[in-house]
C-alpha cells in the first residue's frame, strides 16, 4: 500500500470562505479598532449569548486563561478533584491559582471522571470538582452534581472539547457552576485561538471582565490585580464566521465517524467508545480508538509510528497522564488510576475534520486493516 500523497493530520481547522473573512477585515480596517472590546467582539459576544441563551458569557484570548481566570474569579482554593486524562492545561489552570490537584480515576466507557472515585477523594480542603467532557463525551452530570451539592463543592467543567454538545436539547454549558470552552484552531469550532466561560451566577461576570482586563474599572481605577486575557477583533471575526457553519461542520464529522465505525468493526483489536446515549447530540470533535495490542497484533505506539510512514499523523491524546509529566510528579496521587493508565496506553486519535474526504477515511481504514496482525512490519 502506498503512503498518502499529502500528509493527513489528526485535524485541520475549518476555514470559512475567504471572501467573508476579507469583508470582515475591511470592517476592522475601517474601524481601526483591533482589540479591547471592539465592535466585532461585542457582536460576537451577543451571537454567543443568543446561541447559549444566556447573558453570562465571557470571552478570552484562549481556553487556558479562561479556565485559570474562572477558577480565580470564583475564589477556588485548597484542593480540587480532577482527572489526569486530559490536556495538561486543565491542571495548569489549577497550578496558576496555587490549588492542589487531586487526581482520581476515570470511567472506562467514556473516559470521564468516575463519580465514586471523586466522592472517595473529598477532604476538608476540597473546594471544587474540575471535570472534563473529554472528546466531547458528557461527564456523569447528575452523579457529579449530586456529590457537589451534598458536599458543598463547586462543580466546574472543562468543556474545551464540547462546543455544540447538547443533552435532551439543552446545551452542555448549562450544567455545573461554570463551563470553559476552547476555541483553539484544532477544535471543531474555533476562533483561531479563544476561550469562553459560561456560568449561571451573573454576579461573576463583572469579576471575570475585570480579571481579563488588568482589573480596570475605568481610566483611573484598578480594582483587582488582573491580567491581559482579552480576545481581539480578528479572533472574534473568525469565531463569528465559523459559528454560521457549525451545523454543517458537525454533520460532516458525523458522517466521517459513521464510516470509521462501519469499517473499523471489521478489524480486531480496535475498540471504539460506545455510541453516546440517544438524548446526547455529539459534536464528533475527536475520533478516539483504543488499540488492544494482543488482538490487533501491534501496540498503539507501533501503530502510531507505522501510520506516520503512510503520512497519517495521528495523536496520542492523552498520553502521558498529566500526573506523569515531570512538572507534576511531585503531586501525591493516592488513586491507582487503573483505568486512566490503561486507556492512556491504548488511546489513539484518528484524523477527523470537516474537509477530510470520505475516500481518505476509507483508505485510512484500509491501512489500519493492513497493519492489523502485523501484516505491515512495525
Residues that bind ligand T4K (CB under 6 A): 9-13, 62-64, 86-87, 89-90, 132, 158, 160-161, 182, 184-186, 195, 313, 315, 317
Q: Which of 273, 276, 248 lies closest to 353 in space, CA to CA?
A: 248
- Written as one string, the DSSP assignment of 53-94 is T-S-EEEESSHHHHHHHHHHHTT--SEEEE-SSS-THHHHHH
Residue with smaller CB distance to ligand T4K, 9 or 33: 9
CB 349 within 8 A of CB 317: yes
| Least distance (Å) between residue 295 CB and ligand T4K | 28
Residue closer to ligand T4K (CB basis): 195 or 369: 195
Integer CA distances (angstroms), 57 to 115, 163, 203, 208, in order: 28, 14, 12, 10
Q: Which of 8, 38, 3, 7 is nearest to 24 (CA)?
A: 38
Q: Is 291 exposed, middle or buried (0-12, 13-18, 19+ CB in 10 A)?
A: buried
How many Cα atoms within 13 Å fall on the side-chain side of residue 370? 15
Nearest-approach distance from CB 163 to ligand T4K, in angstroms: 11
Look at the block and give the residue holding cell 458522517: 255
| Closest CB to ligand T4K among residues 118, 372 | 118
Burial state string for 359-368 with b = 16 or more CB within 10 A and e = fewer than 16: ebbebbbebb
> Minimum distance between the CB of residue 176 and ligand T4K, rounded to whole angstroms?
15
Minimum separation from the CB atom of position 189 to ligand T4K (A)? 11
Collapsing DSSP to helix, strand or coil, 248 comes out as helix
Nearest approach in angstroms of CB 125 to ligand T4K is: 24
Burial class (CB in 10 A: 0-12, 13-18, 19+), 45: buried
196 versus 372: smaller Cβ distance to ligand T4K? 196
- Cell 474537509 sits on residue: 355
Smallest distance, Å, CB 296 to ligand T4K?
Answer: 23
* 207 or 235: CB nearest ligand T4K: 235
Least distance from C-beta 315 to ligand T4K, angstroms?
Answer: 6
Task: Provide the minimum distance between the beta carbon of 273 and ligand T4K in the complex, in angstroms, as a whole number.
Answer: 16
Rounded distance, CA 368 to CA 345, Å?
18
Position of minimal CB gap to ligand T4K: 63
Among residues 68 and 171, whose Cβ is nearest to ligand T4K?
A: 68
Residues 6+ apart with CB under 8 A from 240: 24, 40, 43, 44, 47, 191
Smaller CB separation from ligand T4K, 64 or 240: 64
Q: Are 231 and 41 in contact (CB under 8 A)?
A: yes
Q: Nearer Cβ to ligand T4K, position 184 or 341?
A: 184
Q: How far is the CB of 192 from ligand T4K (least distance, A)?
A: 8
CA 365 – CA 97 distance, rounded (Å): 44
Among residues 62 and 354, whose Cβ is nearest to ligand T4K?
62
Amino acid at each position: 500500500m502506498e503512503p498518502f500523497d499529502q500528509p493527513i493530520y489528526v485535524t485541520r481547522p475549518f476555514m470559512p470562505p475567504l471572501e467573508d473573512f476579507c469583508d470582515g477585515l475591511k470592517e476592522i480596517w475601517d474601524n481601526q479598532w483591533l482589540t479591547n472590546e471592539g465592535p466585532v467582539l461585542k457582536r460576537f459576544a451577543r451571537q454567543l449569548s443568543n446561541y447559549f441563551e444566556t447573558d453570562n458569557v465571557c470571552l478570552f484570548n484562549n481556553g487556558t486563561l479562561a479556565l485559570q481566570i474562572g477558577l480565580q474569579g470564583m475564589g477556588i482554593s485548597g484542593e480540587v478533584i480532577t482527572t489526569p486524562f486530559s490536556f495538561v492545561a486543565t491542571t495548569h489552570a489549577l497550578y496558576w491559582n496555587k490549588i492542589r490537584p487531586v487526581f482520581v480515576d476515570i470511567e472506562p466507557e467514556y473516559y470521564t471522571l468516575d463519580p465514586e472515585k471523586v466522592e472517595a477523594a473529598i477532604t476538608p480542603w476540597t473546594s471544587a470538582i474540575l471535570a472534563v467532557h473529554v472528546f466531547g463525551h458528557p461527564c456523569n452530570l447528575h452523579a457529579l452534581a449530586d456529590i457537589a451539592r451534598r458536599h458543598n463543592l463547586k462543580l466546574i467543567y472543562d468543556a474545551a472539547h464540547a462546543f455544540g454538545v447538547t443533552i435532551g436539547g439543552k446545551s452542555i454549558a448549562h450544567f455545573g457552576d461554570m463551563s470553559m470552552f476552547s476555541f483553539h484552531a484544532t477544535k471543531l469550532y474555533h476562533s483561531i485561538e479563544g476561550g469562553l466561560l459560561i456560568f449561571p451566577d451573573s454576579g461573576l461576570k463583572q469579576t471575570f471582565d475585570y480579571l481579563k482586563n488588568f482589573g480596570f474599572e475605568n481610566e483611573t481605577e484598578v480594582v483587582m490585580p488582573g491580567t491581559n486575557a482579552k480576545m481581539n477583533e480578528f479572533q472574534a471575526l473568525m469565531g463569528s464566521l465559523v459559528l454560521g457553519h457549525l451545523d454543517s461542520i458537525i454533520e460532516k464529522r458525523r458522517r466521517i465517524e459513521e464510516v470509521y465505525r462501519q469499517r473499523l468493526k471489521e478489524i480486531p483489536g480496535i475498540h471504539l467508545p460506545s455510541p453516546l446515549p440517544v438524548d446526547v447530540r455529539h459534536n464528533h470533535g475527536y475520533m478516539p480508538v483504543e488499540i488492544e495490542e494482543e488482538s490487533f497484533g501491534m501496540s498503539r505506539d507501533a501503530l502510531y509510528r507505522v501510520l506516520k510512514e503512510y503520512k497519517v499523523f495521528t495523536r496520542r491524546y492523552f498520553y502521558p497522564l498529566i500526573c506523569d509529566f515531570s512538572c507534576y510528579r511531585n503531586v501525591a496521587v493516592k488513586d491507582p488510576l487503573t483505568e486512566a493508565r490503561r486507556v492512556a496506553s491504548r488511546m489513539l486519535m484518528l484524523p477527523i475534520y470537516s474537509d477530510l474526504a470520505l475516500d481518505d477515511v476509507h483508505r485510512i481504514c484500509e491501512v489500519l486493516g493492513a497493519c492489523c496482525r502485523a501484516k505491515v512490519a512495525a
